[in-house]
Structure 1
Amino acid sequence: MKFFRTVLFLSFVLAATGAFAQSSSELKRRRDKLSDELEQLNREYQETASNKKVSLKQLNILKAQINLREEKIVNINSEVRNLDNQISQSNNTVRTLQSQLDQLKKEYAGMVLFAYRNQSAYNKLMFIFAAKDFNQAYRRLKYLQQFGTYRERQAGYIQGTQKDLNIKIVELDKDKKQKNNLLTEQEKEKETLGKEKNNQVKVIVDLSKHQGELKQQQRDVQKRIAQARRQIDIAIRKEIEDARREAEAKAAAAAKIAAAKAKAENRDVAPPVKKAINKSSTNSEVLNATPEATKLSNDFLGNRGRLPWPVANGQLVHGFGTYTDSEGIRNDNPGYEIRTGAGAAVRAVFEGEVTKLVDVSGTYLVIIKHGEYFTAYSNLKSVNVAKGQKVSTKQSIGTVATDPGSGEAEVIFCLYKGSAPVNPKLWLADN
């Protein structure tokens, strides 16, 4: 019975360890990704630092490095806490296994002593013949036979428990070493973080000497974003109105044909199976007026939280919503501002149709329709798609532009349901 309790306990421990391992694996994957991104940013920073003139790009890279390094330190803290839980669990398991092993050895020693005292055939026969009747003698014979088998089984339990104990001790030592390595790495990250923050202060001081120029650069960027947003709003409203007129025209033509047919057959006109699009119809009804559009909308919705990023590698500069920049200026961001490498390919996040290409202050804006959803990609240096073209998921639609003043290569990605902007965070997969 004790053995089965041990088995149940070990099963629980293994299940808990599996859960920890999964979490540890995810944390390690995130830490490795953060390390890769930090290396990329460090290379970019070294390139900008070689230029004697301090630029806004240096400051932005430092900000991104500091944010990522702080996130990495938090990630390491989570890994350490996870390991602490595993170490505590392993210590409990080792104590339980050791207790079980001691008990098994004690029971086995008692059996060995009993077997030693009754090892001769004479003693065994006397034990059997001393029975009161035949039934008791038979039971004593079976007991002696089963006793030998049970003793062998107990020896196997002892070996198995000893093996489990040794494995758990090795795992415990491994976890402790891993924890020490993580703590060492964490200290290095904190030291580097301190240096980066000092560098940030120095860069800010140097940049303050060119405050007017920097403010102008930021105003230019915000102006371009505002222009792109106006173009997006205009394009989507036009798309909805065009779809409404087309659906109304189709409905009117279908009603005319039905009326003519009913008149020829001398009967009343049957009511339409589907509600016709009219001026009171919602944007969703208008944009989903056809089966193809409805399917595309449903497919897009079905991939919520799993859509790829519009660039293969990038860091989020500003997220959706209101934020205040370094100059204290309040900005309303309609989507994601994503920093990436110069000349990086910009790609469609889902299949759809290109509905708009427009020049915005020397850069391009591309709008793609996905049923009742729209995605917009602005600040493109070049485009390789045309209006009306069907595109597939992750298909390249152009390359990102680099701002000549700041040296930043950023793409602005926006997502709309009808004419309403929505937060891309709820739709894009973890980068």
Structure 2
Amino acid sequence: MRRYFIYLLSCLLLVAALTTTAQRTQRKPKSRATLEREKRENLRRIKEANRILEQTRAKKEASLGELNAIKEKITVQKGVIRNVSSELHYIEKDVKKTETLVSSMQSDLEKLKAEYALMIYSAAKTTNSYNRLMFLFASESFNQFTMRLRYLRQYADARKAQVAQINRVTKNLNQELNTLTQQQQEKQKALEKQLAEKRSLLNLKGQQDQVVQKLSKQEEELRREVARRQQSVRKLDNLIADMVREEIARAARAAKAKSAADARAGKTSSAETKVETNKVSMTPEMAVLSSSFSGNKGRLLWPVGKGFISQRFGKHAHPVLKGVVVENRGIDIQTGHGEAARSVFDGKVLTVASVPGMNNIVMIQHGDYFTVFAKLKTVSVSEGQMVNRKDVIGTIYTNAEGTTELQFQIWKNSSNLNPESWLAPK
């Protein structure tokens, strides 16, 4: 009887162990939504950069526009490699987890089979039909007979459950082995993709070096171009400064006139209202618009539907000429031929002008904030016109080298701001 108790206890322990093993096969799926979004964004940027690069290459001579497009592709390509590396990291983690799980399940299954074989062997020697009957009829009482009969049934049920559990674990193990094979194949594909992307990056860097070498041979023309740009930038700066000063003066005059009218009407005291001379005096409606514009920092619409930042805000070393520093009051956004420029926020067109080297200019007022669009080929708005967010204000100019580039600036009163920190992430 003691031997049967031991067998029954062994069966129950093995069933519990198998249940734990089955639970370990249930893994929570990992989310890779961020990586998928990055992958889609990189593909979009590569497609845009390729299109822009092909347009700049339509001209036989190398250009800064071509160099900028290649740099954009290099930047995106590095992002692609980082993305693939992250995917590979996740795959390797999954492979290691699956390998550990498979090893554990194989070990459990071997122990289970060995224990089950021992039980079958022992049962074959001691629990044939004659011995079972003798075991039952050797009972000293009816209660003992009933208990022994229950033990035999439980023992038989436990063996059946054990066989079923062995089958389930074997099935789960085979599934995990298939998963492991798929993950290893996925890992191999990711490694091959990573290698291909790195080769593509090296190829792009080679193209960049070739363009830089070609441009270096045009040093004299590049220096003349830098001088022309600096002269155009100064003229644009003067135009913007004049327009801001005029708007400040106009708003100040309007505020003084309103204050005087209110005083005559007895609405306020006759004391002269203090008017700021270094910032726009705003009506309540303008103040609301200004506050709304400010509240959208980092979320403003891009002034073009497609493109990339080819030159950032501030001072930068020239990409080809050594020792030459260029300063950008805004950002340059390189895009495709025929692309439209659009208002980034609601406002009023303050001025439409033309500056040599910057082509057509549109300046839009948003309270005490101003957005400036330069290098426009055509203009589709007029001074004093109210515009809404996303309204087209004109098309962007394409230069003789085939480069289509918008100069975009943001000002608050007389202070120049970095537009990149105001635009929404692409």
* Same-fold status (TM-score > 0.5): yes
Confirm or deny that 1:381 pairs with 2:377.
yes
What CA deviation, in whole Å up to 9, does each residue of 1:276-300 have, x standing for no partner?
973259848x44x41x434433433
Confirm or deny that 1:102 pairs with 2:106.
yes
Q: Which amino acid aligns with 1:181?
A: K
Structure 2 CA distance for aligned equivalents of residues 367 and 310 of structure 1: 13
Q: Tell me how large the CA RMSD over aligned residues is.
A: 3.8
Q: Which amino acid aligns with 2:254?
A: E
Confirm or deny that 1:28 pairs with 2:21.
no
| SS of residue in 1 equivalent to 2:63 | helix
Q: Which amino acid aligns with 1:387?
A: E
Superposition pairs for residues 118-129 of structure 1, below 5 Å?
A: 126=135
How many Å apart are 1:167 and its aligned residue?
2.4
Is the contact made by 2:290 and 2:368 (CA closer than 8 Å) also made in structure 1? yes
Equivalence for 1:204: 216
Equivalence for 2:366: 370
| SS of residue in 2 equivalent to 1:48 | coil
What CA deviation, in whole Å up to 9, does each residue of 1:159-198 have, x standing for no partner?
2343244224313312321320331242144134324413
How many Å apart are 1:32 and its aligned residue?
1.7
Superposition pairs for residues 261-340 of structure 1, below 5 Å?
A: 278-279=274-275, 283=279, 286-287=281-282, 289-290=283-284, 292-325=285-318, 326-327=320-321, 328-340=323-335
Confirm or deny that 1:48 pairs with 2:59.
yes
Shift in CA distance, 403/191, structure 1 to aligned 2, threshold 3 Å:
closer
Shift in CA distance, 318/248, structure 1 to aligned 2, threshold 3 Å:
same
Shift in CA distance, 413/199, structure 1 to aligned 2, threshold 3 Å:
closer
What CA deviation, in whole Å up to 9, does each residue of 1:211-265 have, x standing for no partner?
1x443333222222221122122222332343344345445545655659xxxxx
Equivalence for 1:266: none
Shift in CA distance, 259/46, structure 1 to aligned 2, threshold 3 Å:
closer
Structure 2 CA distance for aligned equivalents of residues 251 and 9 of structure 1: 79
Which blocks of at least 5 consecutive residues in structure 1 are unaligned? 261-268, 270-275
Structure 2 CA distance for aligned equivalents of residues 154 and 106 of structure 1: 10
Confirm or deny that 1:224 pairs with 2:217.
no
Structure 1 CA distance for aligned equivalents of residues 314 and 406 of structure 2: 16
Shift in CA distance, 317/106, structure 1 to aligned 2, threshold 3 Å:
same
TM-score, length basis structure 2: 0.78
Q: Which amino acid aligns with 1:226?
A: R
Structure 1 CA distance for aligned equivalents of residues 149 and 295 of structure 2: 72
Confirm or deny that 1:415 pairs with 2:410.
yes
Correspondence for 1:81 among 85, 107, 129: 85
Superposition pairs for residues 350-365 of structure 1, below 5 Å?
A: 350-361=345-356, 363-365=359-361
How many Å apart are 1:96 and its aligned residue?
1.7
Shift in CA distance, 239/175, structure 1 to aligned 2, threshold 3 Å:
farther
Confirm or deny that 1:235 pairs with 2:243.
yes
Superposition pairs for residues 151-166 of structure 1, below 5 Å?
A: 152-153=164-165, 155-166=167-178
Confirm or deny that 1:39 pairs with 2:35.
no
Structure 1 CA distance for aligned equivalents of residues 247 and 161 of structure 2: 83
Structure 1 CA distance for aligned equivalents of residues 25 and 299 of structure 2: 38
Superposition pairs for residues 58-77 of structure 1, below 5 Å?
A: 58-77=62-81
* Percent of paired sites with the same residue: 24
| SS of residue in 2 equivalent to 1:305 | coil
Confirm or deny that 1:391 pairs with 2:387.
yes
Correspondence for 2:339 among 322, 344, 363: 344
Is the contact made by 1:101 and 1:162 (CA closer than 8 Å) also made in structure 2? no
Equivalence for 1:183: 195
Shift in CA distance, 112/300, structure 1 to aligned 2, threshold 3 Å:
farther
Q: Which amino acid aligns with 1:313?
A: K
Q: Which amino acid aligns with 2:376?
A: L
Structure 2 CA distance for aligned equivalents of residues 403 and 148 of structure 1: 83
| SS of residue in 1 equivalent to 2:275 | coil
How many Å apart are 1:151 and its aligned residue?
5.2
Structure 1 CA distance for aligned equivalents of residues 39 and 329 of structure 2: 33
How many Å apart are 1:315 and its aligned residue?
3.2
How many Å apart are 1:358 and its aligned residue?
2.0
Number of residue pairs aligned between Structure 1 and Structure 2? 397
Shift in CA distance, 89/257, structure 1 to aligned 2, threshold 3 Å:
same
How many Å apart are 1:127 and its aligned residue?
8.2
Larger radius of gyration: 2
Shift in CA distance, 4/258, structure 1 to aligned 2, threshold 3 Å:
farther
Which one has more relative contact order, counting CA pairs under 8 Å at least 6 apart?
2
| SS of residue in 1 equivalent to 2:274 | coil
Q: Which amino acid aligns with 1:421?
A: N
What CA deviation, in whole Å up to 9, does each residue of 1:41-64 have, x standing for no partner?
442243111xxxx4xxx2313422
